[in-house]
Amino acid sequence: MNPSDKILVTGSEGFIGSHLVEALVEEGYSVKAFVLYNSFNNWGWLEDLAPEVQSKIEVVTGDVRDPLSVRMAMEGCDAVLHLAALIAIPYSYSAPTSYVETNVTGTLNVVQAARELGIKKVIHTSTSECYGTAQFVPITEEHPLQPQSPYSASKISADQMALSYYYAFEVPVTVIRPFNTYGPRQSARAVIPTVITQIANGARELKLGALSPTRDFNFVKDTARGFIAALKAEDIGGEVINLGSNFEVSIGETVELIAEVMNADVTITTDEQRIRPEKSEVNRLWASNEKAARLLGWSPVYGGRDGFAQGLAETVKWFTGSGNLNKYKSDIYNV
């Protein structure tokens, strides 16, 4: 793909989606941003992008659960970056049907429209949660898939639906599987914003869930770069590709790093409502990013412990910036 091509981004109003839209505009692409329809005509995080970026994107509203809505949005586009999804794991315990409708049926609508319209490339977004607790590390793309939550089950299903269109109908689908992305604009349902917003609002006794699980955190700018690398890469149809830092860190160590960046002395209390059911907790994630390096020429800029500390510092700076902290409810559990 080249900058003269028109790119549709579903889920463009979300955390990763808004950063991806921003990066695509900076690369010179023509971007159509697909936003979930709402009566307030709110464009989510796209509202916070600089005016010079907003002026260069075409925003369309709709719903990935509706096939006509999706097809109309995709008309005239050369490629689609499909990020629209329900992603909160705790909410999937109580609203699993919503996850099937949005994540699985929504993906079906995207790949079916791509087939009908002759879209040149479909980049479908997966998640490291599809792997469940690591059976071996670092986790390669050949690792078994384990549906340890309704969310991960819906994403495994969505991935397979997307890939089935590659095999059955030769739709040029690639599955990008990011590990735990963090950075400015992330929802407070995730652990890093939870810690930052509590400390920034003066709390020194933090309410958190399990501290022993490990994660492979990726700064959002690296994740966006990975999607664009996939957009530019050739001969990657049918591939599943991890985007991970290849750096493993526990939640407890992550809290310590954030407290250090914020110069805060904190203690932690366990909030039982933040604890996943025992068999649903993903205890270990650590990505192999060899395939991304080989096929996409991608590697993390914010890699290793030093890169993680740098990414956390940039994230803290944004959250504590003018007006940003007020957008978060740090005193409640964000499901």
pLDDT reported for residue 184 = 98
Q: What is the mean pLDDT of residues 52-61?
A: 98
Domain shared by 167 and 315, yes or no: no
Number of domains the chain is built from: 2
Strand-strand pairing, 249-250 and 79-82: unpaired
132 plus 211 within the same structural domain:
no
pLDDT (tens digit per residue) in 162-173 = 999 999 999 999
| Segments forming the whole domain that contains residue 152 | 6-181+218-243
pLDDT of 65 above 90: yes
**Local structure of residue 104 (DSSP, 8 states):** I
In a domain, 296, yes or no: no
User: Is the whole-model pTM more than 0.85?
Assistant: yes
149 and 200 share one domain: no
The verdict on 90 and 235 lying in the same domain is yes
Tens-digit pLDDT profile for residues 272-300:
888 889 899 999 999 999 999 999 999 99
- Report the candidate in 71, 76, 41 with the shortest Cα–Cα distance to residue 59: 41
Give me the CATH number covering residue 79.
3.40.50.720
How many angstroms separate the CA atoms of 297 and 73, rounded? 30
Verify that 26 and 169 share a domain, yes or no: yes
Share of the chain above pLDDT 70, in %: 100
Half-sphere exposure of 173 (CA within 13 A, CB side): 30
